[in-house]
Amino acid sequence: MSAAVMEPTVATRRASLGRALAQDPRATLGAALVLLAVVLAVAAPVLAPFDPELPDFTAILSGPSATHWFGTDDLGRDVLSRIIYGARASILVGVFSVVGALIVGAVAGLAAGFFGGWTDTLIMRVMDVVFAFPSILLALAITAVLGPSLQNAILAIAVVNLPVFARIARAQTMVVRELEYVDAQRALGFGPWAILARTIAPNIAAPLIVQGSLLFASAIITESYLSFLGLGVQPPAPTWGSMLRNAIGFLDMGPWLAWFPGLAIFVVVLGFNLLGDGLRDRFDPREVR
């Protein structure tokens, strides 16, 4: 059996990723909500009706109206515009933290699962140490030490998610490395890193992608925690978490200050969870179809 045997499998899995969205209403709805958040983040300068950082002292704590659909905050800033721009921070944190954790964690898990021995022991003990800490506390500790900023929030969330991807990659690699087409590539003279890159990595990609889609939601929630505590993006730049923190002192006079950022977090997290659940059900080998 040659290495070419694996090609239909990879192609089939890639095609299944698209079919999962078309055939599962949950995944379709989730993808639509995620796409909406991405469009808001990318097209924020075009879609936002006002400057999100510009105060308007003539419109302080104005309720939702035809001019300000989501009302204004304690400085007269348009809440809708701040929510649209706040999507940028959430999407950036989600993309860079999850993709970074996926790449590093997958490489670590591939190496641990394929080579075994001391490589496996060293890598997985490090991951166990990271995994032993509650995720939000570890993210808080990292950002507290490094200082509050978007970059440090991304780094903290990526570190927190590393063990998840490493464990999945390791478990899948230990299964795939025993299959016949891997033995065939060894017999053909392929080196270990070539086998990992050409054969094993593509064949363990599906569960990693599914887990990544689920962890996007977790990353957005964690970023909101950090911003709420003042350890994320710093004012006056808008984020949904910082908007919720600012709303605490005005819940009686302006409850909309909490309603709309909370709803934004809910909708985007729901979208990623629905998308992740749909993909998980599609690629779960235990699912009966």
Q: Where are the domains of the chain?
A: 3-48+70-283
19 vs 42, 108, 157, 228, 276, CA distance in Å? 26, 30, 30, 38, 14
CA angle 27, 29, 30 (to 5 degrees): 60
- Tracing tokens 């779960």 back to the chain, one arrives at 284
Given a cut of 80, is residue 25 above it in pLDDT? yes
* The pLDDT value given to residue 5: 43
Taking the C-alpha atoms of residue 167 and residue 171, their distance in angstroms, rounded to an integer, is 6
The CATH number of domain 3-48+70-283, selected from 3.30.420.40, 3.30.1280.10, 3.20.20.70, 1.10.3720.10: 1.10.3720.10
CB 165 within 8 A of CB 183: no
Q: Is 78 in a helix, a strand, or coil?
A: strand
Give percent above pLDDT 70 in the chain: 90
pLDDT > 90: percent of the chain: 46
Averaged pLDDT of the chain: 85
Residue position matching structure tokens 């006056």: 236
* Angle at 127 (CA atoms; ends 92, 185), nearest 5 degrees: 90
Identify whether the C-beta of residue 62 lies closer than 8 Å to the C-beta of residue 71. Answer: yes
For residue 167 the two structure tokens come to 């464990």
Segment 28-38, tens digit of pLDDT = 899 899 999 99
